[in-house]
Amino acid sequence: MPICRRTFLKASAAPALLAQTKPPASDRITIGLIGVGVRGRDHHLRKFLKNPRVQIAAICDVDSTHAAFAAQMAVDERSARPLVYSDFRALLDRRDIDAVVVSTPDHWHSIIAIQAMEAGKDLYCEKPLTLFIEEGRRMVQVARQYGTVVQVGSQQRSDWRFRRAVDLVRAGRIGRLNKITTHLGNPGTTKGAFIHPGEWESVQTPPAELDWNLWLGPAPYKDYSPNRCHFEFRYFLDHSGGRITDWGAHHNDIAQWALGMDSSGPVKIEGKGGFNKVGPYDYAGLMEVRYTYSNGVQVVCENEGGNGVRFHGADGWIFATRMTLEASSPEILQGPVAGADTRSYDERNRNEEIPGTDDHHNNWLDCIRTRNRCAADIETGHRSATVCHLGNIAMRLGRPLQWDPGKEQFLNDPAANILKGKPMRAPWSL
Amino acid sequence: MPVNPAVPQWIRQMADPDQAVAFFAYQSLLESTLQGGPDPELAKILGEALTAQSAGGARGAASFRNNAFLAAAAQQRTEPLHPAPVRNNLARLLGYLPVEESVAPLSKALQDLDAREMARQSLERHPSPRATAALIEALNYPGPVFCAGIISSLAARGGPQSLAAIRKASEDPQEEIRAAAIMALAAFPDPSLDAILERHNAHIARARLAETLRAAGNKPAADRIYKSILASNAPDPQKKAARLAL
């Protein structure tokens, strides 16, 4: 192949540039990835492979095709093959691994996170942090006990549009805040809203490459069917919380942040949900949940109105999405804001598929070095997930609920308190 | 509120070979269970269905028509009226009904090999003290993995009876049971348990016990454990936790 000028420059300059930016191996953070399906592979692994601050030492997945594909990505990008595991406990036994990224289905988050923290690893855990409210408190306790740096994967906390919107709201640019609407998008436009009974995939023998029992882990036993596994786990309440935790863990998290309620939550919840009765998905596809906070502000979580967070103030409104930042008048968005988020990350010039991911990763890596708390610390992740779980519980019970965010329990409702947690399938436990 | 008259039909339909019918029936029962409030009548109906037996041996008896003795024995044998997935669903639904009427059928279901895991989970969160007694009794049932689950449930429920049972299980000859019991002891705010954990070199459990004690207001006992961890051969993460706590 003839060498042209551009090829020559690229080949000769790249190592020099790399040498300037790549920290010495001893300064790099060694990480392992647990769960390398779509999210773990295409968002975390792909980006971490391009991040010179980390070294990928291990990959773990209960589906060997996922693991092999991810390992090959590492070979292609870095010419180094990470060790591959199917059981996360073997990965956690590695003393050379500083930190882990957990991108498994939600029903696994708490067990893996707690065992990782008890093994001395720092943690990046995908959202929603939890499947049930009670496990979140336990996770926070362990993180504090071990001094673990935890970043929850609500990367909108590192997306400039949402950061700016929160700063503007908290600075009073729209006057007194009355209401926040979190729009989770219409499930009718996304895969997995509903499946016609005729499209159900029947129970089958699990494929040879999948350890189905380990995929289920602490979740109630079900025979394998492709409809339940991998990406579609999010539509089953045994494995996830449906749309309200999938997208609510982003948008309700932003609402909590704007309200200054990162360590608290609403006091009253009312919800109406359209639970799918023709299966196999059992989550609430259509919903409207109204949260009332102790300061009187209402947060309404619903499907309609696009996909983003709208702040309604006495003097105007702001609407933030992953693509846009709008306001009732242009002046609201202009000029500096006192007390604004001072993090220097700025991905405005980047063309990310999911905005904020690079900055969220880098914030985590910075905090691992400084031992500061991350932009989406575990307490905030727990509280934001709790808001979503409260919505699900209110919808399932179909009655207004009173919540004590300090004690993290429902008032005068034993049936609701039962739904705060769910025992795990033996032998798994927290 | 009266129990929805369709409940018996939904119970039967959960066994329907058409997945959509079975799913709809379960979701309808779930809605009735959750939205109707803790209804003792509904618990009674679901409980009876969970434990209902049929003269299932009749089928077996037919195959023994040339042997009167075996045919008679088969005739006497009963089997659960509803198939395993239905019984699992019923055990789960009863767990959402925190009334006394749920406890007896769930306790009985702890002996049902197909439904006992879900019955165990439902009893774990049931407010009745009788649930604790039933779970303790189930520690005598076969299966180390099942017993490990019972131990987790008892630890979650707490109380002196649970502690006594778990303490005994921590000496069990079966590794799975012993390991679960040792870890479960850390949930009880009793400083004397540290001696057991230390003897088993269970440093993660020791750190958990220290936090349990600290959360219960017994910081001096927690600090004693942390100091002992620091002076031991515990792994680095537990020593780091000890340093942070002290």
Q: Which domains does chain A have, with CATH numbers?
A: 5-156 (3.40.50.720), 160-341+379-418 (3.30.360.10)
**ipTM for this model:** 0.93
A226 part of contact set with chain B, CB < 8 Å: no
Residue A209 has φ and ψ, to the nearest 5°, of: -80, -5
Rounded to a whole number of angstroms, the CA Rg of chain A reads 22
B160 at the A interface (CB within 8 A)? Answer: no
pLDDT at residue B115 is higher than 50 = yes
Which residues of chain B make contact with A220, given a CB cutoff of 8 A? 88, 92, 117-118, 121
How many contacts does A have with B, using Cβ atoms within 8 A? 113
Answer whether B125 sits within 8 Å of A427, measured CB to CB.
Answer: no
Q: Cβ contact (<8 Å) for B125 and A421?
A: yes
| Dist CA B134 CA B143 (whole Å) | 16
Instruction: Check if the beta carbon of residue A388 is closer than 8 Å to that of residue A252.
Output: yes
Least confident among A1-10, A26-35, A119-128 = A1-10
pLDDT for position B51? 97
Q: pLDDT tens across A284-308, in order?
A: 888 999 999 999 999 999 988 889 9
Place of tokens 């942390």: B226
Tokens of A275: 């639970």
Q: For position B156, what pLDDT does the model report? A: 97
CB spacing of A415 vs B31 below 8 angstroms: no
Tokens at residue B236, please? 């680095």
How would residue A350 be classed by pLDDT, with cut points 50, 70 and 90? low
Measured CA to CA in angstroms, residue A55 lies from A45, A97, A102, A338, B176 at distances of: 11, 9, 16, 38, 36
Name the nearest CA neighbour of A365 among A24, A52, A38. Answer: A52
Pairing mode, if any, of strands A29-34 and A54-60? parallel
Residue B134 sits at φ, ψ, to 5 deg, of -65, -40
Q: Rounded to an integer, what distance in angstroms lies between the CA atom of residue A299 and that of residue A287? A: 13
- Tell me the nearest-neighbour CA distance from B181 into chain A, angstroms: 12
Please report the pLDDT score of residue A420 as a whole number. 97
Question: What does DSSP say about strands A83-85 and A409-410: parallel, antiparallel, or unpaired?
Answer: unpaired
The more confidently predicted of residues B157 and A195 is B157
Q: Shortest CB distance from B145 goes to which of A120, A200, A426? A: A426
Q: What is the pLDDT of residue A199?
A: 66
Q: Is pLDDT at A132 greater than 50 in this prediction? A: yes
- Looking at residue B58, its pLDDT comes to 60
- What does the pLDDT read at residue A7? 43
Structure tokens at A230: 């991998």
A183 DSSP β-pair partners? A302, A308
Chain A residues inside the 8 Å CB shell of B235: 120
pLDDT in tens, B133-179: 999 999 999 999 999 999 999 999 999 999 999 999 999 999 999 99
| Percent of chain A clearing pLDDT 90 (strictly above) | 76
Query: Tens digit of pLDDT for each residue in A207-236?
Result: 999 999 999 999 999 999 988 888 889 989
Identify the three-state secondary structure at position A94.
Answer: coil
Whether the per-residue pLDDT at A128 is higher than 50: the answer is: yes
Q: How confident is the model at residue A193 (pLDDT cuts 50, 70, 90)?
A: low
Report residue A1's pLDDT band, with 50, 70 and 90 as the boundaries.
very low
Residues of chain B found within 8 Å of residue A282, distances taken between Cβ atoms: 23, 27
Q: Which of A189-193, A247-251, A303-307 is predicted most confidently?
A: A247-251
Three-class HEC string of chain B:
CCCCCCHHHHHHHCCCCCHHHHHHHHHHHHHHHHHCCCCHHHHHHHHHHHHCEECCHHHHHHHCCCCHHHHHHHHHCCEECCCHHHHHHHHHHHHCCCCHHHHHHHHHHCCCCCCHHHHHHHHHCCCCHHHHHHHHHHCCCCCHHHHHHHHHHHHHHCCHHHHHHHHHHCCCCCHHHHHHHHHHHCCCCCHHHHHHHHHCCCHHHHHHHHHHHHHCCCHHHHHHHHHHHHCCCCCHHHHHHHHHHC
Q: Is A412 an 8 Å CB contact of chain B?
A: no
Between A337 and A17, name the one with better pLDDT. Answer: A337
Look at residue A16 and tell me whether its pLDDT is greater than 60: no
Residue A8: the pLDDT is: 38
Nearest to A216 by CA among A85, A91, A111: A111
Lowest mean pLDDT: which of A38-47, A101-110, A159-168, A274-283?
A: A274-283
pLDDT of A339 over the 80 cut: no
Q: Does A422 touch chain B (CB under 8 A)?
A: yes
Say if B127 is an interface residue toward chain A (CB within 8 Å): yes
How far apart (Å, rounded) are the C-alpha atoms in residues B16 and A87?
Answer: 37
Identity of the residue in A141, A202, A277 whose CB atom sits nearest the CB atom of B27: A277
Which 260-289 residues of chain A touch chain B by CB within 8 A? 275-280, 282
Q: How far is CA A33 from each of CA A56, A243, A262, B17, rounded to the nearest angstrom?
A: 8, 25, 27, 40
Q: What pLDDT, on a 0 to 100 scale, did the predictor assign at position A232?
A: 86
Between CA A223 and CA B46 the distance in angstroms is 24
Per-residue model confidence (pLDDT) at position A277:
78
pLDDT tens digit sequence for B12-21: 999 999 888 9
Structure confidence at residue A304 (pLDDT): 86
Q: Do A279 and B19 touch (CB under 8 A)?
A: yes
Q: What is the mean pLDDT of residues A153-177?
A: 94
pLDDT in tens, B55-91: 766 666 667 778 888 877 777 778 899 999 999 999 9
Distance CA A277, CA B19 (A): 11
In chain B, residues with a C-beta closer than 8 Å to the C-beta of A120 are 235-237, 240
User: Pick the residue with more confidence: B64 or B102?
Assistant: B102
Exposed, middle or buried: residue A133 (CB in 10 Å: 0-12, 13-18, 19+)? buried
- pLDDT reported for residue A393: 97
- Residue A70 pLDDT grade (very low, low, confident, very high; cuts 50, 70, 90): very high
The token duo for B212 is: 């349990």
| Whether the predicted pLDDT of B40 surpasses 60 | yes
Q: Is the pLDDT assigned to residue A189 strictly greater than 80?
A: no
pLDDT interval class at A354 (50, 70, 90): confident
Q: Supply the pTM of this predicted model.
A: 0.93
Q: Tell me the chain B residues in contact with residue A147 when contact means C-beta distances shorter than 8 Å.
A: 240-241, 244
Whether residue A340 has pLDDT greater than 80: no
Looking at the complex, report in whole angstroms how far the Cα of residue B65 sits from the nearest Cα belonging to chain A.
36
Provide the pLDDT for residue A10: 44
Position B2 scores a pLDDT of 84
Reported as a single tens digit per residue, the pLDDT across B220-239 is 999 999 999 999 999 999 99
Residue A200 touches partner B, C-beta closer than 8 Å? yes
Residue A351 sits at the vertex; the CA angle it makes with A77 and A40, to the nearest 5 degrees, is 50
The least confident of A126-135, A226-235, A289-298, B42-51 is A226-235
Q: Do B176 and A427 touch (CB under 8 A)?
A: yes
For chain A, say whether B55 makes contact (Cβ under 8 Å): no
Which of A91-100, A166-175, A329-338, A389-398 is predicted least confidently? A329-338
What pLDDT was estimated at residue A337?
Answer: 86
Integer Cα distance of A43 and B158 in angstroms = 42
pLDDT band at A2 (very low <50, low <70, confident <90, very high): very low
The percent of residues above 70 in pLDDT, for chain A, comes to: 89
Q: Do B23 and A398 touch (CB under 8 A)?
A: no
pLDDT score at A200: 73
